[in-house]
Amino acid sequence: MDDLLADFLTETQEGLGALDAALVRLERSPDDVATLSEVFRIVHTIKGTFGFLGLTRMEAVAHAGESVLGRYRDGTLRVTQGGISLILAALDCIRGIVAGLEATGAEPAGSDAALIASLDAVASGEDAPPAAPPAAAEAAAAAPPSPPAAEAAEVVVAAAPPVAPPPASAPPKAVPAADAEASGGGNAPPQTIRVTVEVLEGLMMLVSELVLTRNQLLQLSRNGADSAFAVPLQRLSHITSDLQEGVMKTRMQPIGNAWAKLPRLVRDLGVELGKKIELQMRGAETELDRQVLELIKDPLTHMVRNSADHGLETPEQRAAAGKPETGRILLNASHEGGHIIIEIGDDGRGLNVDRIRQKVLAQGLATEAELAAMPEREVQRFIFRAGFSTAAAVTAVSGRGVGMDVVKTNMERIGGTIEVRSKEGRGTTFVVKIPLTLAIVSALIVEAGGERFAIPQIGVVELVRVGGEGAPQLERIKDSAVLRLRDRLLPLVNLAGLLQLDSRANEDSAFVVVTQVGAHVFGIIVDRVFDTEEIVVKPVAPILRHVTMFSGNTILGDGSVIMILDPNGIARATGVGAESGEGENERDGGRMVVTHRSDQQTAMLLFRAGDTTPKAVPLGLIARLEDVERDRIENAGGRPLVQYRGKLMPLVPIAGHWDQSMAPERQPVLVFSDGDRAMGLMVDEILDVIEEKMVIDGAGERPGFLGTTVIAGKVTEMLDTAWWLRQAGEDWFGAGAEGSKGPARRILVVEDSAFFRNLVVPAIGAAGFVVTAVADAEEALRLRDAGAGFDAVVSDIVMPGMDGFAFARTLREGGPWRDLPLIALSGRAEPADVELGRAAGFTDYVAKFDRAALLDSLRQCLDAAVAG
């Protein structure tokens, strides 16, 4: 296949993909002139290129579709569902011909006369035939795999949207690197280039080898007494990390690429099932590794099909239930640490827990007594069992008992998890958590039975030393080892015993790696713990693929080859957490997740700084704990700074000043970050992590501290994180000052940012309020419907899903919270925003994060509510 044809095929695939989404938009909004013009332009351009290359069969089909679109564009025909279905069928026909062209280099034989006749009939004013086109998913499944030319289209670093091939009057250029529109035409340099996937994969392999070599050199440097190479090796390490990050960016693609076919899929399912369905996609720009992207495409497609078939009701059923006739499917993607969080939800009928229980009993998966003891969410998780289905009948879409178990297995295979949240009559949401990349990961190196292993750090919750005075002790229930950790019993797995190795350490003085699989937390007993290290993930050899405890292997800095452990596989192999054990979030009687409450125990980091009095800060606020080398800290304008992840991060000493000559060789730093902002707090010593209730006295008595509390029997100062963030010079929240103590009332905080939730709860709680924080408006409404009572609500404005304005209007429409004081807490506090907030129903509007203004507003609103 020559280069010209390969370029044509790549750009044709891009154009066809764009047409699917545009036609679905056009069907939904027939009067959208811009979309109609876009569709007509792409079809006209593709048709012209077909003619230029002598591809007569595809040109004839495209010409017939263009005739219908031309009638739509000049207004002589009105856009109809039948007409759109025919045009989509024409696109599917072209896709089939393109697949044959890719495979053989020539158009396959065949007749499209019936399809062309139907299109011509619609163009002449006749009604479209009732036959629906084949579903997009089925057409895609029938198509053969794309050649490298098509794969190259997925790795374009684009400065502008893809442009279809030029028409016949302007032959396609042989160099696909340049985009005339993106580069501005003329002799301007191109803004995009095409690189084949093979080139990128080869580059990634070279970077992986460089990382391994870097690790080996660092290992030699640590073991040797001669430090002459220490500085250049440190520089090499930084350069390698920067190069690795740059190459990883070339592998990153927006998750919207995996969603590209879903609008067409949902549209076809709606026609097939007789349902009105609206698909909303948010966070499509969220990027992840293309290897992960390829692995999640099919599971995502299946879950969307499930929502359309199982989840959403027919228009008649929705009307009878008091819902809008059009059902909604929502896809939402966002970053969270080293993971991507994907939510696939619908506002349909929800999971029928009683029917699930009946199926569980009928298939012998659990007894009546076991089901009675299970929380509702554990019962719902049976849908992930192989062969399990609650569909009343087998259809072309679902009902065969396959799918969700495969989805769960595929997610776990790449180190991800999947959870389900459902409320009958309200809808179902699947929450998928997957790693950003599978190529190079940070791992904890451990030893068991004389062999070393790597555990991906994203799966490590914490590390516990057992045995010894004051340390947690192993206990036994029958023959099973458990660990009592902060009043909770964790099941344990002895790694050496599981792998049939001879353990050389005493189990009573070992280490426990606490890990989490889904909602289940358990511990892995190991003999020794070495260090964390960036490792290059290599696939498991075929001879070991039946051992589910391993997810890959890697080479350490000393040249040793070790296996990478898979916590999901360990859980399946041992049965730990598979069907038993109650998730942490189930203890509230089945209510949906409450993210943070000020009257519950909170994990806090204890440290010393400035004086001998211990100090504490909620652990959830801290992004990382770093030991920064003294020589890396620089001074700018009398303020310490450090180069951190490619940017300058301000450092703030709690002691008030920092003298480099008197500083230790390694400076402990607490790193706080939100989005692309970061600040480091310089402390003297990190002591411990302890869970305690935050009962704070003396709020506001000393700048920088919320007050004092008692932790582990000692008086401890509680840090006012917002105050210290301002000292870094970053405009994190706007101006603010300290406030006064408020009355002991119950406050609900609605905030989608975990960072700000962890910041607001102790800050308001220190003023005497009992604070509950949730992640979104939908969760707040679930608390309202469950009968939860509050004295006031504080809500962010910009949130995924339902925003703050819609949330306020919903509360004011009716219900038990209709007359509650409602305060907006937002970074957008311009007069226009305040006016919109008050119009929506907010009682007051406070800039984020002005603690004094917020406390004053709460006091005034609550006093006014009592007086009223």
Range of the domain at 636: 596-688+698-720
Structure letter (DSSP) for residue 580: -
Same domain, 771 and 845: yes
Same domain, 366 and 309: yes
Handedness of CA 318, 320, 322, 325 (dihedral sign): positive
| Res 442: pLDDT | 76
Could you tell me the pLDDT band of residue 68, with boundaries at 50, 70 and 90? Answer: confident
Could you tell me the pLDDT band of residue 600, with boundaries at 50, 70 and 90? Answer: low
Same domain, 675 and 716: yes
Same domain, 320 and 420: yes
Inside any domain, residue 188? no
Inside any domain, residue 739? no
| Res 158: pLDDT | 34
Inside any domain, residue 180? no
Mean per-residue pLDDT, 86-114? 85
Same domain, 12 and 103: yes
Residue 462, classified by CB atoms within 10 Å of its CB into exposed (0-12), middle (13-18) or buried (19+), is middle
Tens digits of residue pLDDT in 623-665: 777 778 888 888 776 778 888 766 778 888 887 777 777 777 8
| Res 594: pLDDT | 39
Inside any domain, residue 591? no
| Res 541: pLDDT | 67
C-beta of residue 816 within 8 angstroms of C-beta of residue 843 = no
| Res 867: pLDDT | 67
The residue with tokens 């039946």 is 546
Tens digits of residue pLDDT in 309-361: 888 889 998 888 888 888 999 998 887 655 688 889 999 888 888 888 888 88
Both structure tokens of 283: 């966070």
Same domain, 854 and 714: no
Could you tell me the pLDDT band of residue 741, with boundaries at 50, 70 and 90? Answer: very low
CATH of the domain at 411: 3.30.565.10
Inside any domain, residue 179? no
Number of domains in the chain: 6
3-class DSSP assignment, residue 759? helix
**Comparing 126 with 684, which gets the higher pLDDT?**
684
What is d(CA 601, CA 616) in angstroms, rounded to the nearest whole number?
A: 14
3-class DSSP assignment, residue 787? coil
C-beta of residue 544 within 8 angstroms of C-beta of residue 472 = no
3-class DSSP assignment, residue 568? helix
Domain boundary among 115, 148, 181: 148
Tens digits of residue pLDDT in 219-237: 777 766 566 777 788 888 8
What is d(CA 289, CA 254) in angstroms, rounded to the nearest whole number?
A: 9
C-beta of residue 773 within 8 angstroms of C-beta of residue 751 = yes
CATH of the domain at 799: 3.40.50.2300
Could you tell me the pLDDT band of residue 412, with boundaries at 50, 70 and 90? Answer: confident
Inside any domain, residue 382? yes
C-beta of residue 338 within 8 angstroms of C-beta of residue 433 = no
CA dihedral of residues 446, 447, 453, 456 (deg, nearest 10) = -20
Looking at the predicted structure, is the pLDDT value of residue 183 above 80?
A: no
Per-residue HEC secondary structure of 319-380 comes to HHCCCCCEEEEEEEEEEECCEEEEEEEECCCCCCHHHHHHHHHHCCCCCHHHHHHCCHHHHH
Same domain, 517 and 567: yes
What is d(CA 217, CA 238) in angstroms, rounded to the nearest whole number?
A: 13
Same domain, 858 and 710: no
549: Cβ–Cβ under 8 A, 6 or more apart, which residues?
Answer: 498, 499, 565, 566, 569, 570, 573
Could you tell me the pLDDT band of residue 142, with boundaries at 50, 70 and 90? Answer: very low
Inside any domain, residue 798? yes
CATH of the domain at 556: 2.40.50.180
pTM of the model: 0.46
What is d(CA 261, CA 139) in angstroms, rounded to the nearest whole number?
A: 11
Both structure tokens of 138: 């089925």
What is d(CA 425, CA 429) in angstroms, rounded to the nearest whole number?
A: 13
Structure letter (DSSP) for residue 827: S
Other CB atoms within 10 Å distance of the CB of residue 639: 15
SS3 content of the chain, % helix, strand, coil (to 5): 40, 25, 35
Looking at the predicted structure, is the pLDDT value of residue 572 above 80?
A: no
Phi, psi dihedrals of residue 302, rounded to the nearest 5°? -65, -40
Could you tell me the pLDDT band of residue 507, with boundaries at 50, 70 and 90? Answer: low
CATH of the domain at 236: 1.10.287
What is d(CA 1, CA 773) in angstroms, rounded to the nearest whole number?
A: 59
**Comparing 52 with 213, which gets the higher pLDDT?**
213
Looking at the predicted structure, is the pLDDT value of residue 505 above 60?
A: no
Mean per-residue pLDDT, 577-601? 41
Same domain, 425 and 449: no
Mean per-residue pLDDT, 6-33? 80
What does the mean pLDDT of the chain come to? Answer: 75
Which residues are bridge partners to 342 per DSSP?
333, 432
**Comparing 158 with 509, which gets the higher pLDDT?**
509
Same domain, 431 and 455: no
54: Cβ–Cβ under 8 A, 6 or more apart, which residues?
Answer: none
| Res 392: pLDDT | 53
3-class DSSP assignment, residue 697? strand
Structure letter (DSSP) for residue 106: S
Same domain, 308 and 387: yes
Both structure tokens of 137: 């998913």
Q: Tell which residue, 791, 805, 806, has the closest CA to residue 837.
A: 805
Tens digits of residue pLDDT in 789-848: 788 999 888 887 788 888 999 998 888 888 889 998 877 767 777 888 888 889 888 877
Q: Tell which residue, 818, 817, 836, has the closest CA to residue 826.
A: 836
Tens digits of residue pLDDT in 454-464: 888 777 888 88
Q: Tell which residue, 470, 474, 495, has the closest CA to residue 483.
A: 474
Inside any domain, residue 236? yes
Residue 585, classified by CB atoms within 10 Å of its CB into exposed (0-12), middle (13-18) or buried (19+), is middle
Same domain, 316 and 357: yes
Q: Identity (one letter) of the amino acid at 120?
A: D
What is d(CA 594, CA 775) in angstroms, rounded to the nearest whole number?
A: 8
CATH of the domain at 44: 1.20.120.160
- DSSP per-residue codes, 587-604: TTTTPPPP-EETTSEEEE
Both structure tokens of 843: 């009682």
